[in-house]
Amino acid sequence: MKNHIIFFSGGKSSFSVADYVKEKYPGDNIVLYFTDTLWEDEDLYRFINEASDKLKLPLLTHSLGINPIQLMFRQKVVFNSRIGNCSKILKMKVAADFLKKGIKPPIEKWRNKQYLKQEDFITDATLYFGIGFDEMHRQEAIVRNWQPFKVEMPLIDNIIDNDEILRKYNIRQPRLYDLGFVHNNCRGRCVKAGQGHFRNLKEKLPHVFKELMEQEHHMKVYVSSYHYIKSLDIDEDTKEIYLRELDDAYEDYFNGKAKKPKPYVPPNLYLKQYSFMKKSENGEVKPYPIRDLHYDVEREGIQIDLFDIGGCGCFVDGYCEIGGGA
């Protein structure tokens, strides 16, 4: 009996891969493996649970226990189209630490574990990814990153209709596809997405877009304040006090326990007012401009590239540069 692990992202392609593997290896040990960023759309969880039920395959969920916003807070950096450590840390590092080193993350959940045919599902396992021919540029990096595991991507070599597979099991596709998104990740908030993606988010899920704008604005203020305090020519003990007070002011907000961060400026110090921190005419702080989609830019008539979709390309980048090695 051989082991097969399907990286189950919650998208249609990974579901098609799961069906392909089950049909090809019905007697083998197959596991659906989901790494949760805790930033997903509610309907993603409905989809992966229903998929596990109808495929009659065990679903293993692992999570580091923090979401991308909380990771930014820990790393003191604002993720963007060039820096997306959330994919490296919350997905790839969690998965690699477990599969290569046997290190379990803080959160582990099983669904339908009764379908697991043998407890050891890692030894000599083949790893599967829902990468199609349109994403072949990701293939080489993924295969390289997951050595010595064997890696397969059935959608590259086989013509498979994702919608037909959904109909086969009578499963409704995740709602983000219905809203025009090209993938079902992070509730449409992928930090590496492009202008076209965020325009769609603003139109289809305006409350999600607004919340993300506010979070990025406050993160920018926090990170700028943190590095400003670090650069001050003052004694280290006082500096540590200021940094600790700054963290206390923002911690509850970034952990979802407060609607707004507490305003904080170190005693007797002047914090430089950057343009994104300036207030508008009515006294409200202007939102941080995600991908140039803030209202001022729109009023100025600047062209938005609707074909700039982008995305993090999860599992392409290695994580050893962040902390750890494969």
Q: Are residues 111 and 254 in the same domain?
A: no
Check which CATH number belongs to the domain holding 156 and give it. 3.40.50
Q: Verify that 93 and 183 share a domain, yes or no.
A: yes
pLDDT of residue 133: 79
Q: What is the pLDDT of residue 119?
A: 97
Q: Are residues 152 and 116 in the same domain?
A: yes
Question: Is 80 within a domain?
Answer: no
Does 181 lie in the same domain as 319? Answer: yes
Least confident of 44-48, 51-55, 191-195, 238-242: 191-195
Is there a single domain that holds both residue 33 and residue 142? yes
Q: Are strands 107-111 and 59-63 parallel, antiparallel or unpaired?
A: antiparallel
Q: Which domain holds residue 226?
A: 195-299
Are both 61 and 92 inside the same structural domain?
Answer: yes
Higher-pLDDT residue of 198, 7? 7
Q: Is residue 76 situated within a structural domain?
A: no
pLDDT for 222 beyond 90: yes
Coarse DSSP helix, strand, coil percentages of the chain, rounded to the nearest 5 percent: 50, 10, 40
Within a domain: 18: yes
Would you place residue 306 in the very low, low, confident or very high pLDDT band (cuts 50, 70, 90)?
Answer: very low
Peptide bond into 68 cis (omega under 30): no
Whether 77 is covered by a domain: the verdict is: no
DSSP string, 57-108: --EEEEE-S--HHHHHHHHT----SS--HHIIIIIIIHHHHHHHH-PPPSEE
Q: Are residues 29 and 123 in the same domain?
A: yes
Query: How is residue 155 written in tokens?
Result: 């959608």
Q: How many domains does the chain contain in total? A: 2
pLDDT at 213 over 70: yes
- DSSP secondary structure letter of residue 7: E
Asked if residue 206 is part of any domain, the answer here is yes
Is 199 found in the same domain as 220?
Answer: yes
Mind giving me the DSSP string for 220-242?
A: HHHHHHHHHHHT--S-HHHHHHH
Question: By percentage, how much of the chain surpasses pLDDT 90?
Answer: 63
Task: State the pLDDT confidence band at 266, using cuts at 50, 70 and 90.
Answer: confident
255 and 174 together in one domain: no
- Could you report the per-residue pLDDT of 70-128, keeping only the tens digit for each? 999 999 998 887 778 898 999 999 999 999 999 999 999 999 999 999 999 999 999 99
Co-location of 128 and 245 in the same domain: no
Asked if residue 265 has pLDDT above 50, the reply is yes
Handedness of CA 223, 225, 227, 229 (dihedral sign): negative
Q: Is the confidence at residue 287, as pLDDT, over 50?
A: no
Q: Which carries the bigger pLDDT value, residue 149 or residue 314?
A: 149
Looking at every residue in the chain, the average pLDDT score rounds to: 85
Supply 298's token pair. Answer: 């729109």
The overall longest dimension of the chain from CA atoms, in Å, is 70
Higher pLDDT, 299 or 165: 165
> Which residues lie across from 3 on neighbouring strands?
29
| CA-derived radius of gyration, the chain | 22
The model's confidence at residue 37, banded by pLDDT at 50, 70 and 90, is very high
The model's confidence at residue 274, banded by pLDDT at 50, 70 and 90, is very low
Q: Please report the pLDDT score of residue 271 as a whole number.
A: 52
**Banded model confidence at residue 311, pLDDT cuts 50, 70, 90:** low
Average pLDDT score over residue span 224-239: 90
- The answer to whether residue 269 sits within a structural domain is yes
Shared domain check, 117 and 209:
no
Domain-embedded: residue 213: yes
Answer yes or no: is 74 within a domain. Answer: no
Name the strand (E) or helix (H) holding 35.
Answer: strand 29-35
Residues 251 and 141 in one domain: no
DSSP helix/strand/coil, 142:
helix
